[in-house]
Structure 1
Amino acid sequence: MTESPCRIRHALALCGLALFAWEAKADTIQLPTFDVVATTPLGGGEIDVSRVPGAVWQTGAADIQTFHDSTLPETLARQAPGVTVGNVSGNDFQPDVSYRGFTASPVSGTPIGLAVYQNGVRINEAFGDTVNWDLIPENAIDKMAIVSGDPIYGLNALGGALNVTMKNGFTWQGFEADLRGGSFYRGQVELQYGKQVGDWSVYIAGTQINDGGWRQDGASQLSNVYGDLGYKANGFESHLQLTAGATQFGAAAFTPLQELQTNWRSVYTVPQTTDNTMGMLAWTGTYAWSPTLSFQGGAYVRAFNQGHVDGNGTEASSCAPYSCLNGNPVNDRTGAPIPDISGNGAYDLGEIDRSWTQSRSLGGSAQAVDTDTISGHDNTFTAGASLDYGWTNFTGNSQLGVVPGFVDNALPVIGFPFVIDQPDSYLAPVAVKANATYVGLYALDTFNATDRLALTGGARFNFAGINLSGGNGAFTNGYSTYFHVNPTVGLTYKLTPDVNLYVGYAMTNRAPTPLELGCADPEKPCIIDNFLVSDPALKQVIGQTVQLGVRGRNDLAQWGELHWSAGLFRTTLANDILPVQSAFTGFGYYTNVGTTLRQGAEAAVQWTGERWSAYANYTYIDAVYLTTFMEPSPYNPLANASGEIPITNGMPIAGIPKNTVKVGFDYAVTPNWKVGGDLVAASAQVITGNENGALPQVPGYAIFGVHTSYQVGKQLQVYGLVQNIFDQRYYTAGALYDTTSFPNAAPFLTDPRTYAPGKPFAVYAGLKYTL
């Protein structure tokens, strides 16, 4: 029977967690809890979580280690309330992370609504505000926090900010080697070493992951290194930090539903590859001037390079003896017409789109924190400034090719030596230079009016200046500036010593990125992360967030400790910027779409007992448009003659599940042997371009995982984990595509739905050696 191998795998995985325990008494299990939270990226102004007028989620190295996560997004996907992780790129190491319907993604062209910081440095890349999760070494993370809707964290914090703090030799000492292997030819090595000698400390961590990929042409290689040299004495602490990484990905992007129904490993077009390299040198320091006054500062330089190769369909067509565009012969770089390479229409034409991004950025920030009391009342006042400057050289071209057929579960584009150079069209080599300057000034104060009531108020001023200059056929030129002052106010009130209420309001903003400004003309669309050909003005996005909630911490005596929270949130965005599809195959552009809304509710609980620990959370998100307009969606079955569908007030925003549920536990069977499991579930979501409901939604899913570890001695641990234990076939996102792109190679593709499939059953085992 076809189900037997699958059932055997599941049985073996479950049996591995049900081995007989020979010792009765177990050590206490601890999931991480944090009583204080940083109120700015630089830290230094930490306050008790009960005084924060908004939702906060925090976790740390112990949680990552317990569940054996390989990347930061794995931790967020498994446990963080309101977070969903999609697979738009088609590669598990390049996920897009969404919090309350706002995204931080490595995929160029994704509207970014989350600010991400590493040790106080904003690591949204200079060109498109993207976040390359693969370049954050997971084993070097000490702790991380998600702070909701907070303008103090600067641009892009529409939904919130993720603040990642790395380890150093003062916070982590010893040596650890972690070796792992498993499904899809995964081999993984993680090393870390930390030591303190007097006032000095050193920490270094390295990661190497080789993964064959579970999809066609989906192999990945990740190399990361992180180092920290620290000094601490007489109230002064300084850290010099180096982060470097190099990754190579095979990415599959969305794949037509009909292909996935035939073979889960299939992809649409190849090649699809991405190469990233990054190096960042940063310094952070803090000085305690007095018991109540301290200063924090930081500076950095960052270099990021990306090469992207993307096989696609093309608007070029056969018109023997030439290849034509809009009925006219298309030229190559020499100005000569490109010959008909399709065999007089026997083969479909395609193109290999290539782009190269070279970004450099530098910046610094400084702040002062005063915790002196006011008339005997506790008070925390923070004031600071930041400056970030980035410059990017971007080049791209399109090479004409043919698609010989459906080969090895993919449609390969075979390039011919013809680079399309049609200056009067959107298909021409481009070379764009972008410079972006971001300045921020902020102040924040939290005042304890009474023993129970804390009042918070503050604001941040943001300036963005973006200059684009194009050459080599590009039409992109111009300088744009954006200013905005974002206030925040709120209060917290202790209903009891263990339970507090919070209410908060915050305004945030997002300036258009250089990428979006360079691709905003519907008459000159772009292959979203490949070409920049025009620069109509885009308005900045203005967000307003209101939050109301209650949270508590209860000591249950012999039963353990309970942390819980529940809240409501509502964020409206004026002048929201979204990418929309063009009538030209594979192309699109950016536009302001009016006002959008993301509102909902969250509830979370975490319990820690002597032998058990567990967590559970639920999030409801209602994401809708509040504006009426006509959206280009040429592949929608109900589109009008112009390829548009009507968006009306109350229609859902695509790609955001209404409901997410996360549950996990850990149990100490013996002092040395622990087992645990987790569940991540999400409801259906609207397919991008299908907001009018012409086609069914992307179905919901529920994914289960299990893990176990055994401490052989003080120094050696053996562990294993199983992901998607029931081997569910599920999708994390969906879009529409042109089914007529390859009539010869793929005439069987007639359904316009294309999905991002989720990872199937996978099992891994490892050894961890600690000194």
Structure 2
Amino acid sequence: MMLRSWLPLLPLCLLAPENVRAGDAVAGSTPVELDRVRVVGVVPGDGASVPLAHRPYAVRRLDAQAIERMQAGDLTDALRRQMPGVSLNTVQGNPLQPDLQYRGFTASPLLGLPQGMAVYLDGVRLNEAFGDTVNWDLLPLAAIERADLVGGADPVFGLNTLGGALSLHSLDGFEAARTRLDIEGGSFGRRQATLQHGGNSGGFAWYLLADDWGEDGWRDFSASDARRHFGNFSWRGERGRVDLALAQAHSSLNGNGPAPAQLLRDDYDAVFTAPDNTGNELHQAHLRGSFDFTDTVRGNAGVYSRQVDTSSYNGDVADSEVCDDDPAYRCGEDGEPVLDTRGAPVAAAFDAINNLGERRQRMRGGHAQLVFSRPLGERRNQLVVGLETLRAKVRFRSHVEAATLDANRHTSAGSGVEMADAAVDLSATTRSHAFYATDTLWLTPALSLTAALRFNRTRIVLADRSGEDPDLNGRHRFSRLNPALGFAWDVSPALNVYASYGESTRAPTPVELSCADEDAPCKLPNQFIADPPLRQVVARSWEAGLRGDRGEALRWQAGLFRTRNADDILFQTTGGASSNEGFFANVADTRRQGLEASVQGGGERAQWYANYAWLDARFLDGFAETSAHHPDADADGVLQVRRGDRLPGLPRHQLKAGVDVDATATLGFGIDGEWRSGTYLRGDEANRLRRTGGYAVFGAHARWQATPRVSLRLRMDNLFDRRHAGFGALGAPDEVFAGYDDPRFLAPGAPRGAWLGVRFELL
């Protein structure tokens, strides 16, 4: 498997000409030492930037060097360890399928969650068209040069930037002129191998990566694998640059989700029902370029094509019962026999179902912008104007197959009995266009004012392809002009003050519009029934803070934020043993406010950091929630949520710290830890049940440079083997386990694990 992944890369590694290392002097040039200024992007790509001290938002950066030192397993793990306000919910129990949460907003690969973060790679939007989901498994960590986390509803970063945006930037051969092989293995049968090759010759550079990851998993039925390939081909001249980035990935992930709390007490590795497999296939191409028309005018543009095919196979307990009047067959809630597609009653022996689905998503987009760095009068000024366009076509098909549960609660396959009225064949076309402008004016050399506007227009067309579900057909339009205004002030060389206000929107996604009828609930991720109109979510965000930068010795930041969402969309549960049946609805306004504080520093031999985040996330309106499995719900499964109740799944407190030390020139080690408070369970928006328990976990890592070209690395997670659950939901365990009366389902955290890696610097 690993050899197949590397075959396209090996000839280039062997035949490539001698590299010109990044940073090598060009003949005849004189090195110039410049003052150190940290700059950050003001748009998702690399087209425009300003010094960090003049961004009116909180911006956190994680670069490749920091990721290397902490030995993170993947991108989301790196963000969780070091970024204040970032937490992970391991809902699926798979390390490549986490819910990443920041300031109470989510970027998740799972359909059904209210997404609230925009994620970009080199300016290409990674939120998928069908549900704004983010497939973290398709991103190779080794190819990331840096990650910038921008807080607040900055409208320039586009739709879904309710709580913030994550802007990722990839490596190229100018920055990573090397040939490197990393091999790692250890606990849970995990193994990973990554081969990188980069170099440059004159104005041309290339960077290639092949990554192969797999594990058996620490829970039952949890084997997974992912293969990622990435290539970046760059040319740069005196006034311009062109980059072509190609990506291909394939994954097969088993994440069997939360399990009943009573089951986990007896068997921590157990799953409720299985399998729950998701397969992703990615093909992406992105061509972008920039050109300096004059010393003060730069233009850049790009076009991209992104194709993601997803298959899902979810085994679940049947939502029907043995018929009272004829125990040979199964009946629904109305007492009528359940029929298959041939019109025959389904036999009572089929006590389970397999939900089978396919999603084909094709996205084509482009972006263009001009950056004017001309003074306005006698004041320094930077104006950025840009256009974005996106066309996405989605084809979704699903059906439900009758199955049986074995002694391990694993469903059978291949019965050939398909349930009537359960098949879906849906197409969705999304067209989105946007214009934006952002201007930063320096009123004085120390005080800058930033204003921004973005106009979004989105059109979504849904069509039933089967001819059996005309209620799926629908046309929806959403548009809005979102403003932002803020300032940043260098009070002194060591103190900076910033404040801002911004607005952003999230249009309802095709999956939400296709599953928005209380009288026709759907099952996630497969069945969709009807599409009453939903309103777009509008976020209004305030932010203010202080920060200081004394170089590598000390950097700190502390800030307050408040974001109010109007017409938040929530998935309301009407049934399903694991609460996967329900509908989407605009339920209430919500508010997320809090405090973030961080400090980091170090010297030549040590680096350290510490940060704290407090989050208060609440409903601002009361509403009647459909929560079928809540013990306090009425006979119709309805629960009254009050104004001021807290949003579930979000920790109120987080504290993180870590230190990394170079003990000698060849030996280094580090330790890090995270403590987070408990959260309310999803389905308990009324806050009537006890929360999940708070917990603290620690990790350690070490490295040894054995020779100039060979190094060893050791990483341990959950050092003290703490059992914990960072996420919980409500379900019906008694549908499988007679006598289980606790409706709480918990997502158990991974036990202690250790991995040993070796790195070979080949060239």
Q: TM-score range by the shorter chain?
A: over 0.9
Aligned match of 2:331: 324
Which SS does the other structure have where 2:735 is aligned? coil
CA distance, structure 2, for counterparts of residue 138 and residue 404 of structure 1: 38
CA distance, structure 1, for counterparts of residue 266 and residue 330 of structure 2: 33
Aligned match of 1:669: 663
Instruction: Give the drift of 1:747.
Output: 1.1
Give 2:584's aligned amino acid: Y
Aligned match of 1:18: none
In percent, how many aligned pairs have the same letter?
34
Q: Which among 89, 93, 102 is matched to residue 90 of structure 1?
A: 93
Q: Which among 582, 590, 614 is matched to residue 588 of structure 1?
A: 582
Aligned match of 1:769: 760
Unaligned 5+ runs, structure 2: 1-35
Write the mapping of 1:202-351 to structure 2, written as runs, cut at 5 A.
202-319=206-323, 320=326, 321-325=328-332, 326-341=334-349, 349-351=351-353
CA distance, structure 1, for counterparts of residue 53 and residue 140 of structure 2: 31
CA distance, structure 2, for counterparts of residue 108 and residue 767 of structure 1: 37
- Cα–Cα, structure 1 residues 430 and 138, in superposed 2: closer, same or farther, change >3 Å? same
CA distance, structure 2, for counterparts of residue 610 and residue 271 of structure 1: 49
Aligned match of 1:419: 418
Give 2:650's aligned amino acid: I
Instruction: Find out whether 1:698 has 2:701 as its counterpart.
Output: no
CA distance, structure 1, for counterparts of residue 360 and residue 677 of structure 2: 39
Instruction: Give the drift of 1:372.
Output: 1.2
Do the aligned residues in 1 keep the contact of 2:45 with 2:167 (CA within 8 Å)? no
TM-superposition CA deviations, 1:86-141 (whole Å, max 9, x none):
11122111111001010000111211100000110001111111100010111010
Do the aligned residues in 1 keep the contact of 2:680 with 2:689 (CA within 8 Å)? no
Write the mapping of 1:117-156 to structure 2, written as runs, cut at 5 A.
117-149=120-152, 150-156=154-160
Which SS does the other structure have where 1:721 is aligned? strand
Instruction: Find out whether 1:514 has 2:521 as its counterpart.
Output: no
Q: Which among 468, 491, 514 is matched to residue 487 of structure 2?
A: 491
Which SS does the other structure have where 2:316 is aligned? strand
CA distance, structure 1, for counterparts of residue 337 and residue 312 of structure 2: 27
Which SS does the other structure have where 1:315 is aligned? coil
Query: What TM-score does the superposition give when structure 2 sets the normalisation length?
Result: 0.92
Instruction: Give the drift of 1:414.
Output: 6.0
Select between 567-576 and 39-48 the one with higher mean Cα deviation.
Answer: 39-48
Aligned match of 2:385: 383
TM-superposition CA deviations, 1:330-358 (whole Å, max 9, x none):
2211223323335xxxxxx2211111111
TM-superposition CA deviations, 1:466-490 (whole Å, max 9, x none):
0101133333110100001110000
Do the aligned residues in 2 keep the contact of 1:706 with 1:721 (CA within 8 Å)? yes
Aligned match of 1:535: 531
Instruction: Give the drift of 1:740.
Output: 3.3
Do the aligned residues in 2 keep the contact of 1:403 with 1:414 (CA within 8 Å)? no
CA distance, structure 1, for counterparts of residue 124 and residue 170 of structure 2: 11
Which SS does the other structure have where 2:647 is aligned? coil
Which SS does the other structure have where 1:547 is aligned? strand
CA distance, structure 2, for counterparts of residue 765 and residue 431 of structure 1: 46
CA distance, structure 1, for counterparts of residue 237 and residue 544 of structure 2: 42
CA distance, structure 2, for counterparts of residue 35 and residue 700 of structure 1: 36
- Cα–Cα, structure 1 residues 631 and 509, in superposed 2: closer, same or farther, change >3 Å? same
Aligned match of 1:16: none
CA distance, structure 2, for counterparts of residue 438 and residue 610 of structure 1: 48
Instruction: Find out whether 1:58 has 2:57 as its counterpart.
Output: no
Aligned match of 2:747: 756
Give 2:716's aligned amino acid: V
Give 1:507's aligned amino acid: E
Question: Bigger relative contact order, structure 1 or 2, given CA contacts below 8 A and separation 6+?
Answer: 1
Instruction: Give the drift of 1:694.
Output: 2.9
CA distance, structure 2, for counterparts of residue 225 and residue 411 of structure 1: 33
Aligned match of 1:656: 650
Do the aligned residues in 1 keep the contact of 2:683 with 2:729 (CA within 8 Å)? yes
Instruction: Give the drift of 1:693.
Output: 3.2
Instruction: Give the drift of 1:413.
Output: 5.4
Write the mapping of 1:357-396 to structure 2, written as runs, cut at 5 A.
357-396=359-398
TM-superposition CA deviations, 1:521-542 (whole Å, max 9, x none):
1111111211111001000000
CA distance, structure 1, for counterparts of residue 550 and residue 393 of structure 2: 50
Which SS does the other structure have where 1:576 is aligned? strand
Instruction: Give the drift of 1:760.
Output: 0.7
Which SS does the other structure have where 2:750 is aligned? coil
Do the aligned residues in 1 keep the contact of 2:373 with 2:382 (CA within 8 Å)? yes
Do the aligned residues in 1 keep the contact of 2:172 with 2:233 (CA within 8 Å)? yes
Aligned match of 1:569: 561
Instruction: Find out whether 1:733 has 2:727 as its counterpart.
Output: yes
Do the aligned residues in 2 keep the contact of 1:637 with 1:694 (CA within 8 Å)? no
Give 1:387's aligned amino acid: T
Instruction: Give the drift of 1:545.
Output: 0.3
CA distance, structure 2, for counterparts of residue 129 and residue 534 of structure 1: 19
Unaligned 5+ runs, structure 1: 1-32, 343-348, 423-427
Do the aligned residues in 1 keep the contact of 2:193 with 2:212 (CA within 8 Å)? yes
Instruction: Give the drift of 1:439.
Output: 0.9
Query: What TM-score does the superposition give when structure 1 sets the normalisation length?
Result: 0.91
Aligned match of 1:168: 172
CA distance, structure 1, for counterparts of residue 366 and residue 310 of structure 2: 24
CA distance, structure 1, for counterparts of residue 163 and residue 509 of structure 2: 17
CA distance, structure 2, for counterparts of residue 34 and residue 189 of structure 1: 36
CA distance, structure 2, for counterparts of residue 101 and residue 443 of structure 1: 28
CA distance, structure 1, for counterparts of residue 605 and residue 329 of structure 2: 74
Do the aligned residues in 2 keep the contact of 1:544 with 1:571 (CA within 8 Å)? yes
Instruction: Give the drift of 1:580.
Output: 1.2
CA distance, structure 2, for counterparts of residue 100 and residue 452 of structure 1: 29
Which SS does the other structure have where 1:65 is aligned? helix
Which SS does the other structure have where 1:768 is aligned? strand
TM-superposition CA deviations, 1:577-600 (whole Å, max 9, x none):
011101455411100012000000
CA distance, structure 1, for counterparts of residue 237 and residue 524 of structure 2: 50
Aligned match of 1:115: 118
Task: State the number of aligned residues.
Answer: 718
Q: Which among 453, 457, 467 is matched to residue 463 of structure 1?
A: 457
CA distance, structure 1, for counterparts of residue 109 and residue 37 of structure 2: 29
Instruction: Find out whether 1:546 has 2:542 as its counterpart.
Output: yes
CA distance, structure 2, for counterparts of residue 466 and residue 203 of structure 1: 37
Do the aligned residues in 2 keep the contact of 1:503 with 1:548 (CA within 8 Å)? yes
Aligned match of 1:627: 621
CA distance, structure 1, for counterparts of residue 495 and residue 300 of structure 2: 32
Select between 618-627 and 290-299 the one with higher mean Cα deviation.
Answer: 290-299
Give 1:298's aligned amino acid: G
TM-superposition CA deviations, 1:223-271 (whole Å, max 9, x none):
0000011110121100111011000111111111111111111000012
CA distance, structure 2, for counterparts of residue 760 and residue 748 of structure 1: 28
CA distance, structure 1, for counterparts of residue 291 and residue 45 of structure 2: 12
Instruction: Give the drift of 1:415.
Output: 6.2
CA distance, structure 1, for counterparts of residue 188 and residue 348 of structure 2: 41
Which SS does the other structure have where 1:78 is aligned? helix
Which SS does the other structure have where 2:84 is aligned? coil
Do the aligned residues in 2 keep the contact of 1:636 with 1:694 (CA within 8 Å)? no
Which SS does the other structure have where 2:402 is aligned? strand
Give 2:542's aligned amino acid: V
CA distance, structure 1, for counterparts of residue 124 and residue 531 of structure 2: 29
Do the aligned residues in 2 keep the contact of 1:446 with 1:456 (CA within 8 Å)? yes
Give 2:329's aligned amino acid: Y
Do the aligned residues in 2 keep the contact of 1:42 with 1:296 (CA within 8 Å)? no
